[in-house]
Structure 1
């Protein structure tokens, strides 16, 4: 036995103290986190004919299980890996690694972590002097299965662990020829599997109207009388069904539209270590929450971009393959966002089959180093080379791209511009620990699309009434030349999502009740593809003979406050980009004062309080140029994106800020966000889980 251990020690090429473990567990000499960590590192080879656990360990499983590591000593005593939480004992064909800080892992689990340059213990954050950087020798006793004797098909993670980081090899891998056409997407789920299911919903979108005042004197004519049009998407169906498929035993599904999702992931050198690990965790969460009717394709990019796999249904087999590909990602190289977006759009344009909902999710922590060109003064950049022409030119069939800027070094201006051009949102992830939460909130919306291609139309009724303007953020709108009608293209809405459109009309003098507008909307049901038309009630006002003292509609006042706050944020950002931070702070301060004097604010409206808190946060992030560059700009842009589309975005270090009560979150988003937080490694590390108290 002693000779076998010496062979192991020589094969590893490490200065390790090697000893055989006691039966049923592994000896530990120091508790986790103690400053005086022992220096000897134990490596145990458990060799037998048993193949061990089958199937890949998902990023979510690996990082989530490792988060009980604050109390991992008890787990090690029970013979469990501190990363994947799988059993560590003889007879499972697994090598065991005990670090100098006394934390224990499966050899393949920890070597996969350190092979990308992360030499810090994932449990206690101690820096290691000795790391597992080579696989064990293939020499093993006769009749036993050695570690290196397992094929990549038997253990994909072990195959990855045997790969020594090699920049040239990685570059060759990125240059591997790809198909000329991306028409190799997996066919959609068989329609007959759902023929007997009632996916339709009796619920429809709703329209409400709120005039600024309910009565206007007969002798008064008003230019710029405000009317709020409120639209709400159908409510999410709580019903779940079980669908039996030919190749799957049972699948849990919901009465919602299936999604084609393309994720574009930055794996440049700056993503190495913890960032990449958390990205894999977040993608694991996404994969686990996609249904068998949803399809996923992943584009990874650094100096060049590559498609990891075509659009594939997230059946059980599809999930396993997707997780294996995501697990195999390594970090290195530059940042070529344009190449990645072109491949993402090619996946969408070349697909042979189409789900009714399609979207792109882009995450980057750096600045494009290949396609951005600044002007002569160097004060602004041209983002057009980054945006595929198909995104800009096809307004009716626009595919929303939701961009996520990660950390202090990303180019928030570029990502915001890309998202804005496509009709998507920009989110700012300041704290790496909430990356999964940000993804969860976005996916919660995409998996609940209840309305497609919605168009809101309005028509003046009384001959003297004219439509002056439409304030609807970034949504395309138009007013007829004669001012008699107008429209707004809202596009798709998530279940329970709401939109507020503020109209301004001209009211003539009149002795009778005045009918101002007729409002209607039309949209497609994303499940049935049926066109649904809804007619709203006429907007009318009374015409008394004398002036009547009445308060302004709180709904109208609230929306005016929100629009004014968004305009002030845009003006403050422009001032900050000119280098006048003091002017930017003054603009926000003036807006806060105006909001505080509004009727809604004095009535205790929660939205006004939330707007004030948001503006105050932005002022604080403009305290100096360094702070503004690091987080202020990105925080403001994510706020502008949220207001312009009236859709939830992640801001700063949290997606669940108590101050942002109007954050446009839908119930589906909240549910997905809660699910992410319940399985968050961060909550475990903070001791808020029973696992961390073991």
Structure 2
């Protein structure tokens, strides 16, 4: 019977998935066999093990006929469609005699596979990509025929030592037939975050968990205002930069072989990934999602905990929050590797279960976050997809996950919209409501790098619950407004004090806020102290509350007369950033109304305005980046078809990035040298570089860690 089942799977193309090791609900292992000794995640296309003859609803949900017969027409085992000469598709016949559509198999082999998806024969010759095509650096290596001796992820997995059996550890089945009513079965952490000693990923204790102070800089729009003159809407720029952390990672001499996991003492993370495994994720999408999750699992430390929720028509928890020790990683890799795509798309149910993991847990790490990935539209909860009203999308996100709900700790959802068919509006709304970011993954090969950028930030949180306080010093001053993007900002009734709730900051992450007020006439003072800035925040490792000892005062001169004053380059570039973000929002609103002509006109007008500013004429890189981005958005609003397929998602991911001043993935590239990644931190760049260099096994020295492209308020050379 097992041979019939294997043949049926081959006919359906199920062998295009990754290797799926035996799970606990399969046949019991032989005596003395350890659970962790089963094969781990491999990126190669491999054969599947023996499985029950009747698939369970929790696995594939497939219902096979009792008798399977060979099709009279040859079928591509990757896309499951017929192959016939003359249909406009090239056919590739391998040396093992199995045939595939050329575009299907090249998409498969470009990610490192040299093994036939059907018979498991190892190929000596593979189909070449077109060298002239626009490929990433790693795809270009394949197109030139440069293949690694060993697959990158097998190299990573082989470095993991076999875990020692732990009699005190309860290992629950990865495929739970009945989930508990309360998800309070999370694995206890070895040490509490309140402890002053912090364990790093190599089990070494560091007694120094202190972090440096937040760097504060202020810039006035102009340095002086004449005593007899007033100045309306005077801009003050407040620039914040998070500290590096307690110990900056150094690759040292061996940059070609960075450590598997960061050695920084840092705040542990509780991470829940909510993954779409609906039928549309079949094939290469699911393979690359598994690879991306493999990268996440490998880069979490033993003090970090992970839980994975898989959803299609329904949702299930693969395993509870579990520490990513050697044993935890092996089990997590096995669980992710066993995923099979099938069914519809129920995003709301996946998020509900992810939120339940976070709210029911007994133990809480200092940093908590949810990653959501979907390539489709929720057809179970949303009644009017892509409606202009955001009300329809509130039902997707549990109330406990919404900012300001007061239901518990703030847990952002970082959402990733994948491909041309996902509902960008709902994914963006979910991230906005929870305080997370929305990324648009246009190309399949970018999934892993996009995840890498996200966890590069989450694994480097150095500041939490940051609040900025702006107090007017001169008794005649009043605050007009604070330009803070998506961050909650309030001004007291007397307009004398303003507050900005910033929240978490990654290591070396920067924030810029514009404080706007009116300067009155003052005929008697030689200078005027406008405002003073204070910050309060929490050290995530020690839970210590920190208040900066010295507040920053902003002072301008009040001479009798002033000559021609130069506008601050720093203030001007941030006004440009705010202006561009507002233009993007206005253009997006026009596009949603169906008025693409107005949308393009708004973006073009903003580009022209930016080009005439002081900072743009001075060659400021941020202004160049903004102009390039606005131009890209114009092109993606060329017509309704282009806007629906990619323009909407591209604009929304841009708005998310600028509103939070945090890096998001956009389009089909994750090149950190791109001007579109102005908010990347060094830890994000390092993690993306690791993702790219470890993709083919031995990292390449040419792709050593690069510094983040800086768009800070420091003066830039012309």
Q: Same fold (TM over 0.5)?
A: yes
Could you say what secondary structure the match of 2:206 adopts?
Answer: coil
- Structure 1 residues 307-364: Cα deviation after superposition (integer angstroms, max 9, x where no partner): 0000000000000000010010000000001111111111011000000000000000
> Does 1:277 find its partner at 2:263?
no
Alignment of 1:544-623 (within 5 A): 544-623=559-638
Q: Is the 8 A contact 2:386 2:426 kept in 1?
A: no
- Structure 1 residues 361-382: Cα deviation after superposition (integer angstroms, max 9, x where no partner): 0000000010001299998871
Could you say what secondary structure the match of 2:222 adopts?
Answer: coil
After superposition, the Cα gap between the structure-2 partners of 1:352 and 1:478, relative to the gap in structure 1 and judged at 3 Å, is: same
Alignment of 1:90-489 (within 5 A): 101-102=94-95, 122-123=108-109, 131-132=118-119, 176-190=177-191, 194=198, 197-238=206-247, 253-374=263-384, 382-392=392-402, 393-394=404-405, 397-489=409-501
Structure with bigger helix share is 1
Q: How many residues align?
A: 555
- Structure 1 residues 96-118: Cα deviation after superposition (integer angstroms, max 9, x where no partner): xxx9613699xxxxxxx9xxxx9
After superposition, the Cα gap between the structure-2 partners of 1:10 and 1:494, relative to the gap in structure 1 and judged at 3 Å, is: closer
Give the Cα separation in 1 of the matches to 2:447 and 2:593. 31
Q: Is the 8 A contact 1:606 1:661 kept in 2?
A: no
The offset of 1:254, in angstroms, is 2.1
Give the Cα separation in 1 of the matches to 2:97 and 2:332. 28
Give the Cα separation in 2 of the matches to 1:184 and 1:104. 50
Could you say what secondary structure the match of 1:585 adopts?
Answer: helix
After superposition, the Cα gap between the structure-2 partners of 1:10 and 1:59, relative to the gap in structure 1 and judged at 3 Å, is: closer
Q: Is the 8 A contact 2:236 2:514 kept in 1?
A: yes
Structure 2 gaps, min length 5 = 11-32, 47-91, 121-173, 200-204, 251-259, 704-718
Give the Cα separation in 1 of the matches to 2:616 and 2:416. 33
Q: Is the 8 A contact 1:374 1:381 kept in 2?
A: no
The normalised TM-score by structure 1 is 0.74
Between stretches 120-129 and 334-343, larger displacement belongs to 120-129
The offset of 1:426, in angstroms, is 0.1
Could you say what secondary structure the match of 1:474 adopts?
Answer: coil
Could you say what secondary structure the match of 2:581 adopts?
Answer: helix
Could you say what secondary structure the match of 1:382 adopts?
Answer: helix
Alignment of 1:648-659 (within 5 A): 648-656=663-671, 658-659=673-674
Give the Cα separation in 2 of the matches to 1:520 and 1:588. 36
Q: Is the 8 A contact 2:236 2:516 kept in 1?
A: yes
Give the Cα separation in 1 of the matches to 2:271 and 2:187. 13
Give the Cα separation in 1 of the matches to 2:599 and 2:644. 14
After superposition, the Cα gap between the structure-2 partners of 1:57 and 1:604, relative to the gap in structure 1 and judged at 3 Å, is: farther
Give the Cα separation in 1 of the matches to 2:222 and 2:4. 86
- Residue 70 of structure 2 corresponds to none
Q: Which entry has the higher C-alpha Rg, 1 or 2?
A: 1
Q: Is the 8 A contact 1:268 1:301 kept in 2?
A: yes
Q: Once superposed, what is the RMSD of the aligned Cα atoms?
A: 3.6
Give the Cα separation in 1 of the matches to 2:300 and 2:384. 40
Give the Cα separation in 2 of the matches to 1:258 and 1:624. 46
- Residue 665 of structure 1 corresponds to 680
The offset of 1:663, in angstroms, is 2.0
Q: Is the 8 A contact 2:672 2:685 kept in 1?
A: no
Give the Cα separation in 2 of the matches to 1:124 and 1:504. 53
The offset of 1:190, in angstroms, is 3.0
- Residue 493 of structure 1 corresponds to 505
Could you say what secondary structure the match of 2:540 adopts?
Answer: coil
> Does 1:523 find its partner at 2:537?
yes
Give the Cα separation in 1 of the matches to 2:669 and 2:573. 25
Between stretches 532-541 and 624-633, larger displacement belongs to 532-541
Q: Is the 8 A contact 1:119 1:128 kept in 2?
A: no
| Structure 2 residue corresponding to 1:537, chosen from 540, 545, 552 | 552
Q: Is the 8 A contact 2:261 2:298 kept in 1?
A: no
